[in-house]
Amino acid sequence: MPAPRNRPAAALVLASALAAVGLGPAAAPAAAATVPVGSGSYSDTRPAGTSGPTTNTGTPVTPKVTAAARNRPVPTNDWWSSLAFQRYGDNPYSTPMYGHPLTYQATAGGLDVGYPTTPAIVGDGRQYEFAHKRDLTIGLAGLNSPDTKADDWSDWTVTPYWSDGTRTLRTTIGHGLPFVYAKGSGGNAQITTAGAPAVFADQGNVLGITVAGHHYALFAPTGSDWNVSGSTINAGLGSKDYFSVAVLPSTGALETYRKYAYSFVTGSKVDWSYTGGTVKATYTLTTEAKEGSERGTLQALYRHQWRNTTDALTAHTYVSPRGTMKVRESASFTTSQKASAVLPALPKSNGVDTARLRGYLNEVANASDPFSGATDTYWTGKALGRLAQLVPVAEQIGEAGIRDKLLGLIRGKLQEWFTAGGANEFSYDKDWKTLTGYPASYGSDTELNDHHFHYSYYVHAAAIVAQYDQAWAADSAWGGMVKTLIRDAANAARTDTAFPFLRGFDVYAGHSWASGHQGFAAGNNQESSSESTNLSAALVLWGSATGDTSMRDLGTYLLTIESESIAQYWFDADEQVFPGSFGHDTAGMVWGSGAAYATWWTANPEEIHGINVLPVTGGSLHLGGEKAAIRRNIAEMERENGGPAVEWRDILWEFQSLADPAAAKSKWDAGHAGYTPEQGESKAHTYHWISTLDTLGAPDATVTGNIPTSAVFTKGTVRTYAAHNHGSTARTVTFSDGKTLSVPARSTATGTGTGSDPDPDPDPDPPTGNTFQLRAGGVLTTATGGTAGSDTIASAGGANHDGTPHQPLVYEVKGVNGTLTPGAATAFRLQLDAGTTVGLGQQARISYDLTGDGSFERTETYHYFATDPVPGWEEYAQSRGLKASTGTLGNLAGGTVRLEVWSAIGNGTAKLATGTDKSVLVIPFG
């Protein structure tokens, strides 16, 4: 569920057609007020009394681009959109932009650049952020531009432009780029640092400096010379107009980076393919040699990328809000992933009581208002989605009458929206090259927010209609309007002059962004990642139903890539992304700077955990690929909620069923009688979903079919194979384990086979990772899902034991393997309670035996924590500071890690929380 995105980040609530069917690739908006598209139409003028894009004060705005880019569709909803969308009238430059590893902000004097490496925990512990902080500014001597415009862009790079009448500056920046490439005229190249730089290398036109602990290399044309004067560094460009700056992973990397300093990136492009159950994506940078002949470059890959590539990577890494980024020495790399499964609905099973389901279906089909009073695009979409989910379900139990009634309701509402001039319509904005539905909601009009969220429901509903009524879905009928909505939200044609390429989807970041203007200090954001994948899954279904394999494959690519990003960046599936100090197992929102345990509208844990699950459809199966993460997620929700879900119990039951179907079925059995379904849900769908998975087992992502509309479920040693054939002739679907399934035309078929349950244990397997919880009995473990408890810390007996363990609690783990993370340090948070006793202080020491031979090569003793005499838990963390240390860290090979906690001062006992993620030790190893 989206919500207004016009609040500053600090105010988070912790509360394709062709020309014949509309705008063609080279078509301008028609002059008429109504533009026909097959049987439907849209308006080229907004309805009276409505607004398009505005500043925060309501002043209309047009794209802030140079003349060279004026006729190009602006890719709103991107990581750099504030360059082009001036949301705040007093800022004609940009808000912070998070490219990773670098961060940027345009100012009058040029481009501020930072490399945040230390997370901050804000918002009462509910948000972590690697906030932009200027290390240096890249500019020209004397530059004082009145604004910054977007001059050029490609798939994940952008070129901001400055001009003050005398001087002009262009810089090319992007995701994964350790370099900033600059071209300037009218003045010397100028780098202004936030503090006096320390020079570690001076080679004339190449200068190595350290600022705020971060290493940078400055590259001017051959023959130039950098001159340092305080915090200002200048170099004359002579007859040249170029220079570059790179952030270095270490000072020793200077020569490697120098090799590519003059190979300027001029563009970026992703190409994707889907074949036989596998999605491949190739990311390529185009370059121009400013000096010499080198055309290669360096790219930093995000976690979701380097985990899925076999291309060679260097030893260089960077810190980012998405975990470690790894550097590749090449202008391209390719990822390969098993495609995420999509079905129109879960298949028929004998676990569903037909009479009971029929009753639930009739409740929806015969409701006095099936659309629940919805008038705007979002809530109408939710209602359409609720009805569409039930169409295949009704057919499964032979209820053709209910099926057809639901289809009629859906068709009628879609046609109403797909016809201009009524109470609701879609309107095209020629300046922003976007199609907006009115009545609008949640800033979909004034801020261009959430189009992919809203339109996902319309495309999904249309795809279900197309499954049963191909004539309705023809371009000459209503399919043209469906395609026009798709072109607005997920246009795959880079040459289309009517809509931008993939408006909401960031191909390099691997997920979509929700804000159209990106006007926040924390960058852009996305809350409901699941409503984004709802669009991708809808594209798979629409493309399959209409025979458009390009559309189908686009949806499969988008869904597969984003599903991996969701697992890593929203759910921290491998426990390698969220900082140890964050203390949460899920994020409700992902920001450019980090993530937050929050939503836009409530601090209710149920909705924080559920917003990245809904709507639950046959496109949600990808979530079942990370079952341990689901269990951690549900466990945290119940801890934060003080018990099981109440408001969104259906969404969270369905989510749990993707990992533990029997547990979810038990909750349904106990609680289905007295709850109100979430607005996009129904008891009919929830009952069918939970009962089906309880019968077939959870999704098995280890096996894939050779068409996108196929899936596998495993229970014990029995696999159930399912596939839907949208085609007009029967076909055989082949699965990656060799199973074949014959599927009749326009039908879903299932079959069974023998396999092994990829997750047979209903309890979470101990995950790998560097975050250890404390358990009673002196255990450190990466396992989650423990029971909250406490251990008693012995009294200091009135003596001073500061720095020397005295009757300590000892927690230990052996056989640990890990590679030391450069620049990282030990972290911990321990929950302590001294009750009402005064004058107590507890202390911690962490010791590392690198080889497990009994000799500790490194010990770290931290300053003690003076607890207060008020009952209640307090947090002791490494931020108290290191009191003493011995030895040095190295890689762990079968090593031992030990934590000791004791009373340094005082005459009384205290408690140390154990069993949950409230007390953890985070070691600096990967």
Residue 15: closest CA among 638, 596, 578: 596
Contact at 8 Å (CB) between 161 and 167?
no
Query: Strand (E) positions, 761-840?
Result: 771-775, 779-781, 789-793, 809-818, 827-833
Closest CA relative to residue 546, chosen from 456, 493, 469: 469
Give the torsion through C-alpha atoms of 654, 659, 663, 668, to 10 deg.
Answer: 10
Dist. CA 825–CA 878, nearest whole Å: 9
For this structure, is 450 an active site residue? yes
Number of H helices, E strands in the chain: 15, 51
Residue 527 bears catalytic tag = yes
Nearest to 99 by CA among 36, 171, 18, 196: 171
Nearest to 599, CA basis, from 536, 649, 550, 526 = 526
Tokens at residue 486, please?
Answer: 């798709």
How far apart are alpha carbons 626 and 618 in whole angstroms? 17
End-to-end CA distance of the chain: 35
Give the burial class of 751: count Cβ atoms within 10 A of its Cβ; 0-12 exposed, 13-18 middle, 19 or more buried.
Answer: middle
Beta-bridge partner residues of 733: 741
775 to 415, 786, 920: CA distances (angstroms): 59, 8, 10
3-class state of residue 695 by DSSP:
helix
Q: Are 567 and 303 in contact (CB under 8 A)?
A: no
Residue 423: both structure tokens together: 């109470």
The first and second tokens of residue 853, run together, are 């031979």
Q: Name 216's bridge partners.
A: 209, 247
What backbone torsions phi and psi does residue 640 show, to the nearest 5 degrees?
-65, -30
**What residues have CB less than 8 Å from 275, skipping those under 6 apart?**
none
H helix runs in 241-323, sequence order? 254-259, 303-306
Q: Which of 78, 450, 496, 564 is catalytic?
A: 450
| Annotated active-site residue in 425, 429, 531, 833 | 531
Type of residue found at 178: P
Cα 46 to Cα 41: distance, rounded to the nearest angstrom = 13
Burial class (CB in 10 A: 0-12, 13-18, 19+), 402: buried
Q: Out of 151, 155, 445, 527, which one is annotated catalytic?
A: 527
Burial of 36 (0-12, 13-18, 19+ CB in 10 A): middle
* Active site members: 450, 527, 531
